[in-house]
Amino acid sequence: MTGRTFGVEEEFILADALTGEPVARGPMLVARADDPALATEFKQEQVEIASRVCSTMDELEADLALLRRRVADLAGSLGAVVIASGTWPGVHAPTPTVSERFARIGHEFGQLADHQLTCGTHVHVAIDSPEEGVVVLDRIRAWLPVLTALAANSPYWQGRDTGYASFRSVVLSQLPTAGPTQAWGDVDTYRRASQQVIDAGGAFDKGMLYYDARLSATFPTVEIRVTDVCPEPGIAVAVAALCRALVETAIARATAPVDVSTLALRAAAWRAARHGLTEQLVDPASGQLAPAERVVGSLLAAISDALEANGDLARVRDTIDRLVRDGGFAQRQRRLVDPTSRAGLQAFVVGPPTDRGPTSKRSWANPPARREGERG
């Protein structure tokens, strides 16, 4: 049995294959690709891929692997590699993509827009109607910080360890429409409140409503936007399967208290971004702090019926168990990457080993001798 269709959008950073510095080759790469599955992003140092609409984890993983190979090959032809990290570890001054829309965003939001070189994974899950979608948004909102913690992959910012597992989440939270939202109650309230935000100048259109989860402005889906980009396609697929099961469970029954306050959700989201899987998280099942492993277990318990019905339970559980055991990708970055030299970033380069840039011992992509043998 397969459940609702789903799909994934992933954002990546482009780095020069020789120097390891971010390079503004995204528009050139997308133009060379001539493929609607590849798109430019807000900064020229980025590229985005979008999967097909898929029905199974196997189908989605195969599509993401194909797209990742495609974008890695194109980057290689331009002397670049593709990095899967929620933020760039080193010091950077990103280049805005040239478009009327992006220029307007840059002008209106100033410094907030200037430094937005961040990369996430956005999961789309099909819904039957906007009314159904609002029910989903209200019922899943308390669980979204758990997803943030699971996929946290951005501990560094401007060459320094921030102490956060997902500093991308912190950077995005500064935007006026980003973060947790209220419980909407019905689609009219959702639309009215969203229009009020636009009328107030917090967004230009529905595409700039950067809620943690929203009704897609383009597709008949709920779009869940809380996770950093994942180095491994299998992890991204597991996150997508969790999102699909959350949506399906929410439609079938309440998955957590709908009336939890937005302030409490902001605190839970902050804690997930701060600690990832290494400390206590807020357990939506109880509203109390609990060890991250137990909170992840609560999430799996809440949606296990949907995961099992889709044939995803064993695979998702194995993947999540590995993430929890290893402490997550943010901890891997801390073990492997030197943000000042970019040494160790090879572990976060997208594509098979033959696509991972130069192999000289002087290459930026190779860890220094003192890190040889270390595993993430």
pLDDT score at 301: 96
Q: How far apart are CA 341 and CA 319, in angstroms?
A: 31
Centre a 10 Å sphere on the Cβ of residue 27 and count the other Cβ atoms it contains: 17
Residues in the chain predicted with pLDDT less than 50, given as ranges, are 1, 353-362, 366-376
Hey, is 237 helix, strand or coil?
helix
DSSP state of 222: E
Tokens of 142: 């308390």
DSSP state of 287: T
Tokens of 264: 């409490």
Spell out the residues 6+ positions from residue 140 whose beta carbon is closer than 8 angstroms to its own: 213, 224, 246, 247, 250, 255, 256
pLDDT score at 352: 57
Looking at the chain, which runs of residues are DSSP E strands? Answer: 6-16, 38-39, 46-50, 80-83, 120-126, 156-157, 160-161, 213-215, 221-228, 280-283, 288-291
Q: What angle do CA 173, 177, 182 make, to 5 degrees?
A: 95
pLDDT score at 16: 96
The tens digit of pLDDT for each residue in 39-72 reads 999 999 999 999 999 999 999 999 999 999 999 9
- Using the Cα atoms of residue 186, residue 189, residue 193 and residue 194 in order, give the sign of their dihedral: positive
Pairing of β 288-291 and β 46-50: unpaired
pLDDT score at 254: 79
pLDDT score at 359: 33
Tokens of 209: 């409503």
pLDDT score at 356: 39
Q: How far apart are CA 305 and CA 300, in angstroms?
A: 9
Class of the CATH-defined domain 6-371: alpha beta
Q: How far apart are CA 326 and CA 359, in angstroms?
A: 27
- For the entire predicted model, the pTM comes to 0.93
Judged on CB neighbours under 10 Å (0-12, 13-18, 19+), 200 is exposed
